[in-house]
Structure 1
Amino acid sequence: GGMGQLYLNTTNPSVATGDGVAMAYRAGAEVTDLEFIQFHPTALYLKKAPRFLLSEALRGEGAYLRNMEMSRFMAKYHLMAELAPRDVVARAIMHELGRVRAKDPVVYLDLTHLDESHVRRRFPRIYKTCMQYNVDITTELIPIRPAAHYAMGGVRTDLDGRSSLPGLYAAGEAAGTGVHGANRLASNSLLEGLVFGARAGKKMRNELKAPAARVAGLPPAAYSNGPLSVPVDASINELQTLMWNQVGIVRNANGLKEAVERLKHIEPQVARPHSRREFEARNLQIAGLLVAQSALAREESRGAHYRTDFPDHNDVKFRKHSVVQAEKIRFE
């Protein structure tokens, strides 16, 4: 499925390591639109807690966003204030975090002005989850930060899930159908999984009647007989920190170029995997490099992809999908 584990902060589970995209790319398939990573603006930010997603519905019910000075700030960034689109809210929060000299700054989601019983009834799961970490959302401010949430791109497929590689299908978050454009709307990924999963299943059933396509596996030299040169968790942490800082919510050419070079340097550290975790690290390195290269090539801002050096759309050159195959990138 997804690749949220590319980033230091993510709402995704630990298995979202870009395996589908990386394996398909290694096999020779086209991948598309990988620069479009959606960051959810409001995820719980406590050191010992997962980055639990705090739904937009909270802001829809009237929750405020406050900075560390306790000021509401969203009206400075968008006419819709707290109800602005996800990418706008996420960038605004990152700007507010950057203004603060605190070691580990946060912003806050504030529901304390809302009726307590209504909040508990309306958001029982969020209430219970936050209470597990000793945060009563009806009486206390909730510390939050943005977190990587969804990949709009993936293995390039048609509307039946067929990739550019004969016999290889993809559906769900691993696939790049183009239906989400540059910025997915909330809940559309569930519908995508149901629709394209069913369509791909039907097509695959028919294709089983044909001779099976053969895909080359990794050569024996790609497998390790001993430990990696750098502990795998250290390599993953280095990669996640790099991606968060340079290929995250706000991007520019210098940061993206640094990310591309450092990700290439990480490759030897994970090049001969043996365990499951080491294979995940290898796949993260491949997926991260593809995201960074695609983001560097798209010299504009569009949807979830925002560059300070190219802050506007460029429809003439880039109202197109990015496509990467065999280390070559194009727009079409």
Structure 2
Amino acid sequence: MKNVNFLKSVLFAFVAITTFSCSDDDAAPQSNTIAAIASRTPDLSILVQALDRAGLVGAVDGTTQLTVFAPTNDAFEDFLDDNGFADLEAVPIPVLRQVLLNHVVAGAVQSTQLSTGYIETSATFGGTASGNPLNMYVSTAAGVRLNGVSSVVTPNIIASNGVVHVVDAVIGLPTVVTFATADPTFNILEAALTREGDNITDFVAVLNGAGPFTVFAPTDAAFGALLTELSLSGLGSIPESTLDPVLKYHVASGNVLSSALTPNGVTTVTSILGATSTFDITLPGTGGNIANVTDGAGRASGIVAVDVQAANGVIHVLNRVLLPN
């Protein structure tokens, strides 16, 4: 009898172990998509809610390789407070969708593969499928900082469909001012736009507006050359009555991409300074310029970079400050 009972016990144990092993083998493997990783991360719960509300869960739960800069819950709370939204439900879905897409970059890009400069996000100008992709300025001078407002705090969470980098602030849709502020190429331009004193025009307020604007942005070297040309000691030496029209002369209405310029010819641009305040852009450029520019004073300069796309306009980079006359 004892032997029979012993055999029954062994048989029961064997069946139990076999059953457990089979059910373990049959269990579905844990998903490791970007969406699944976010859903398992408590500090990304508002991001998950936002993706669901904007209808973007499927976009980060497939096989397409993506890089997602994922804002923490605190980052989302700050974003809602700063923009006057009572909660996530108060954010219009088209706005929320574009803001979220502004955190998504095509391809799996680890932090060590990022370099200082501009990359394209999945958000678009005008929020349309055919709109030009918005740019993001990446600085790697000290860690990874995005558009001057958000830093990567946890990099390189590897997903089956890409990479997640956790960030400490929501990256809002950039204006042309965003790039002038974030990109050190434009430090003097930023100083000119924000110069303390009795400025005739509040350029920050204007250029943060709906626009759209096309901004021809001189580099720091271009401003340095202007000061030398005019025998001035610094930006503060330029009278406001002179600086204001010069800055306006670098802004035109509309979102004019380089593809809209006349190929193998001349495009005349009318600035917001007035109907008679124009300058000519000639394609192709010479001497390393993408395009040559002749200003109202008959001076020659060049466009050296094009199509830095913001949500309210586009920036083309100049190697010389333009003068209206």
Higher relative CO (Cα under 8 Å, sequence separation at least 6) belongs to 1
Q: Give 1 or 2: higher strand fraction.
A: 2
Q: Give 1 or 2: higher helix fraction.
A: 1
Q: TM-score normalized by structure 2?
A: 0.23
Rg larger in structure? 2
